[in-house]
């Protein structure tokens, strides 16, 4: 290794570049060019700008780093390794291999130091806004004069692709509006995407665009200028009234004589010969692989060590804070422990059968408001639909520049960003975020819903207007395929409660749930309250499916339903009984919760010998045959809805007691094969 390097800094940066080229080459897949170009930026971030402690990646006041351009993950892996996180050089060598920590894009939970799973462009950008909101909320709630317990910042590296995605525009717009001055976004302006130069598709003036969102924008002409990077980041840190964007002109594949500034440096290994040229260029031995000079490792480990001290200082601050503000500290500690507060279950409302019919969205609103005082960390809102989704916390303020401790969020008509922001909030661990819109617009949120499921985080999605029963708004607003769509996502829990009391229990389960997001699917229309004295308690909702009403004699048929259609099968049971046909009624608000039950319970609900089963649900019939068997039948909807009063559409589509009886009798008459 040459000793004539002008500075250890340069050697550090070049080491990161060479490591990235080597790792991608060894994996024979990946993205070498962007980590090579961004090595100087990474160097500044990890060696001076960000507060973190590699020995405790979970330190609560660490700055959050998000690589929205997740394909460039070799940059992040390298810095995590070099600064001393629990990731070895061997892990780097196993980049993209089965069961390695170094996946093809950064994965939350796989590697300490990865705050969020990224890869789908635009997501990390929008997640950052959720992280920023969480910080602002926690600071407003817990910081006191002289005690900035939460003063961390959010650093995000984003690329052209991130900024082209619509979700980034939504997120940037709301971040500007909320004046989230704790965000520092670093835009890798390399003029290259997969198909070639960005002038193919991307001509706007990004700086002006972000200025008009209300961001503080700086432009750097040379991404290799470490001092300029450092100065710009310092200015961004000082700008606390606006989110910051630093637009940095870089050159993809920097150091590669034949691939620099080309799209081919983006998504494929450089090639053995080219990697050797890169090494020569940087004065590394072309025949050595994964070479980390001692002085480089020493430099970065020393930088990482500084984080230990930072956390110790914070611990001392927190200790005196706790002495002075004991109640607040206790509240924070409860939130951060993930434990639920005492006494909240007693506050859950109970609805009596003689009360007026009530829409489950309304019951949800009443539930939320009944328990809100117990959950200072339960915060959320809606995409401009709170009067319709019933998500407003009546006693609490709106989250705004003037009130960062407000608990009601106005996300604007930005469903996609709302989903991603909720994920960012949920990843802050101490917050339980919820977001609401009409069920049909869950399609606009599909990417963050999927990512919440991948990350197994507790984002709560509230989807109202859950079927053709919503009525006059018509085809475009009537969900059909959304239920099975959500149910098909692994780790997702979908709950479609049958009435007000099941809705209360759905909230209970959602709050107690860990290991993934929950979607509550609620009606617009009013539905009767199922008599809790006559029928099985709604607390059984937690099992996903339960015998809501058993027949007096052994059942000949099982009627299964969810949501607003459960009342219909209950009525059908009664009518069948009058004709001496014993039918069991199963309320099945959640397939996923039911799948978690043991075989004995499943057999109890759906005994193998009763194969005459009829499922009734105002949504796609796809998937129901798993529960009704080949001998069963489904009343579902396999076409789009139409505009008319809700009950008329329901009748027209066969959601009537008469039709249920007709189909049930048809099943019973069918001969066994």
Distance CA 616, CA 656 (A): 10
Q: Is 201 in the site for ligand TPP (CB under 6 A)?
A: no
Q: Is 132 in the site for ligand TPP (CB under 6 A)?
A: no
Among 21, 67, 69, 560, binds ligand TPP (CB under 6 A): 69
Q: Is 24 in the site for ligand TPP (CB under 6 A)?
A: no
Residue pair 20/78 in contact by the 8 Å Cβ criterion: yes
Paired sense of beta strands 192-193 and 196-197, if any: antiparallel
Q: Which one, 307 or 424, has the nearer CB to ligand TPP? A: 424
The encoded tokens of residue 370 equal 């009944």
DSSP for 447-502 reads HHHHHHHHHT---EEEEES-SGGG-TT-GGGS-SSHHHHHHTSTT-EEE--SSHHH
Q: Which one, 108 or 627, has the nearer CB to ligand TPP? A: 108
Ranges of H-type helices in 48-157: 73-83, 89-93, 123-142
Q: Is 256 in the site for ligand TPP (CB under 6 A)?
A: no
- Nearest distance from C-beta of residue 194 to ligand TPP, angstroms: 5
Which among 541, 586, 546, 582 has a CA at the least distance from the CA of 565?
Answer: 586
Q: Is 193 in the site for ligand TPP (CB under 6 A)?
A: yes
- At residue 276, the 3 state secondary structure works out as helix
Cβ partners under 8 Å of residue 488, min gap 6: 623
Burial class (CB in 10 A: 0-12, 13-18, 19+), 577: middle
Q: Is 192 in the site for ligand TPP (CB under 6 A)?
A: yes
Q: Is 72 in the site for ligand TPP (CB under 6 A)?
A: yes
Binding region for ligand TPP (CB under 6 A) out of 1-9, 114-122, 462-470, 652-660: 114-122
Q: Which one, 148 or 261, has the nearer CB to ligand TPP? A: 261
Q: Is 417 in the site for ligand TPP (CB under 6 A)?
A: no
Q: Is 266 in the site for ligand TPP (CB under 6 A)?
A: yes
415 is catalytic: yes
Q: Which one, 35 or 528, has the nearer CB to ligand TPP? A: 35
Q: Is 426 in the site for ligand TPP (CB under 6 A)?
A: no
- Nearest distance from C-beta of residue 257 to ligand TPP, angstroms: 19
Q: Which of 107, 165, 415, 617 is catalytic?
A: 415
Residue whose Cβ sits closest to ligand TPP: 161
Q: Is 121 in the site for ligand TPP (CB under 6 A)?
A: yes
Distance CA 336, CA 74 (A): 31
Annotate 318-336 with three-state secondary structure.
Answer: HHHHHHHCHHHHHHHHHHH
Q: Which one, 119 or 636, has the nearer CB to ligand TPP? A: 119
Q: Is 419 in the site for ligand TPP (CB under 6 A)?
A: no
Q: Which one, 27 or 527, has the nearer CB to ligand TPP? A: 27
Total count of residues recorded for the chain: 673
Q: Is 30 in the site for ligand TPP (CB under 6 A)?
A: no
Among 127, 159, 420, 549, binds ligand TPP (CB under 6 A): 159
The site map against ligand TPP for 298-337 (x = CB under 6 A) is ----------------------------------------
The number of CA neighbours under 13 Å toward the Cβ of 666 is 11
Within 10 A of 200 (CB to CB), how many other CB atoms are there? Answer: 9
Which among 126, 129, 67 has a CA at the least distance from the CA of 102?
Answer: 67
Q: Is 161 in the site for ligand TPP (CB under 6 A)?
A: yes
Distance CA 191, CA 37 (A): 12
Total binding residues toward ligand TPP, as defined by CB under 6 A:
18
Q: Is 252 in the site for ligand TPP (CB under 6 A)?
A: yes
- Kindly list the residues in this chain that would bind ligand TPP in the complex (CB under 6 A): 34, 69, 71-72, 119-121, 159-161, 165, 188, 190, 192-194, 252, 266
Residues serving a catalytic function are 415
């Amino acid at each position: 290794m040459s000793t004539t390097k002008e500075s250890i800094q340069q050697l550090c940066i070049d080491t990161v570049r060479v490591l990235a080229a080597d790792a991608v080459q060894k994996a024979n897949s990946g993205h070498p060019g962007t980590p090579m170009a961004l090595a100087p930026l990474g160097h500044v971030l990890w060696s001076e700008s960000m507060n973190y402690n590699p020995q405790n990646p979970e330190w609560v006041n660490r700055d959050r780093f998000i690589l929205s351009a997740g394909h460039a993950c070799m940059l992040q892996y390298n810095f995590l390794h070099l600064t001393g996180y629990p990731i070895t050089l061997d892990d780097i060598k196993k980049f993209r291999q089965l069961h390695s920590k170094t996946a093809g894009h950064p994965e939350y939970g796989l590697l300490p130091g990865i705050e969020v799973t990224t890869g789908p462009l635009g997501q990390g950008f929008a997640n950052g806004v959720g992280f920023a909101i969480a910080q602002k909320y926690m600071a407003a709630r817990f910081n006191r004069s002289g005690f900035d317990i939460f003063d961390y910042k959010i650093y995000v590296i984003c690329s052209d692709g991130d900024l082209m995605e619509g979700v980034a525009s939504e997120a940037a717009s709301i971040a500007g509006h909320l004046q989230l001055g704790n965000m520092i976004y670093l835009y890798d302006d390399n003029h290259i995407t997969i198909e070639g130069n960005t002038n193919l598709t991307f001509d706007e003036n990004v700086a002006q665009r972000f200025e008009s969102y209300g961001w503080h924008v700086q432009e750097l002409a040379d991404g290799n200028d470490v001092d300029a990077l450092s100065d710009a980041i310092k200015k961004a840190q000082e700008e606390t009234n606006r989110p910051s964007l630093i637009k940095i002109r870089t050159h993809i594949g920097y150091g590669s004589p034949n691939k620099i500034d080309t799209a081919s440096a983006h998504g494929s290994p450089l090639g053995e010969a080219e990697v050797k040229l890169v090494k020569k260029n940087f004065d590394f031995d072309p025949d050595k692989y994964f070479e980390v000079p001692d002085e480089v490792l020493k430099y970065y480990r020393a930088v990482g060590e500084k984080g230990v001290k930072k956390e110790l200082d914070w611990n001392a601050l927190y200790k005196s804070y706790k002495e002075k503000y004991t109640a607040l500290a206790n509240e924070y500690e409860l939130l951060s422990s993930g434990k639920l507060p005492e006494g909240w279950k007693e506050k859950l409302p109970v609805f009596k059968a003689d009360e007026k019919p009530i829409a489950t969205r309304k019951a949800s609103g009443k539930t939320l408001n009944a328990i809100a005082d117990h959950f200072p960390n339960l915060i959320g809102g809606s995409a401009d639909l709170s009067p319709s989704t019933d998500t407003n916390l009546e006693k609490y303020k709106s989250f705004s520049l003037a009130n960062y401790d407000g608990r009601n969020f106005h996300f604007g008509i930005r469903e996609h960003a709302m989903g991603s922001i909720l994920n960012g909030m949920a990843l802050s661990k101490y917050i339980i975020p919820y977001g609401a819109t009409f069920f049909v617009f869950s399609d606009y949120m599909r990417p963050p819903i999927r990512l919440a499921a991948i990350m197994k985080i507790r984002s709560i999605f509230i989807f109202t207007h859950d079927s053709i029963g919503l009525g006059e708004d018509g085809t475009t607003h009537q969900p059909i395929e959304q239920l099975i769509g959500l149910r098909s996502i692994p780790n997702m829990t979908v709950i479609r409660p049958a009435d007000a009391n099941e809705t209360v229990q759905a909230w209970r389960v959602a709050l107690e749930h860990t290991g993934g997001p929950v979607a509550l699917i609620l009606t617009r229309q009013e539905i009767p309250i199922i008599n809790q004295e006559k029928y099985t308690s709604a607390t059984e909702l937690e099992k996903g499916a339960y015998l809501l009403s058993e027949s007096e004699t052994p059942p000949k048929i099982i009627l299964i339903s969810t949501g607003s259609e459960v009342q219909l099968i209950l009525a059908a049971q009664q009518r069948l009984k009058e004709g001496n046909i014993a039918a069991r009624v199963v309320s099945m608000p959640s397939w996923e919760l039911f799948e978690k039950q043991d075989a004995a319970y499943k057999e109890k609900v759906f005994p193998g010998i009763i194969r005459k089963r009829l499922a009734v649900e105002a949504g796609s019939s796809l998937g129901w045959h798993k529960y009704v068997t080949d001998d069963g039948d489904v009343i579902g909807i396999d076409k789009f809805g139409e505009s008319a009063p809700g009950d008329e559409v329901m009748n027209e589509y066969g959601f009537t007691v008469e039709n249920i009886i007709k189909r049930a009798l048809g099943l019973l008459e069918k001969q066994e094969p």
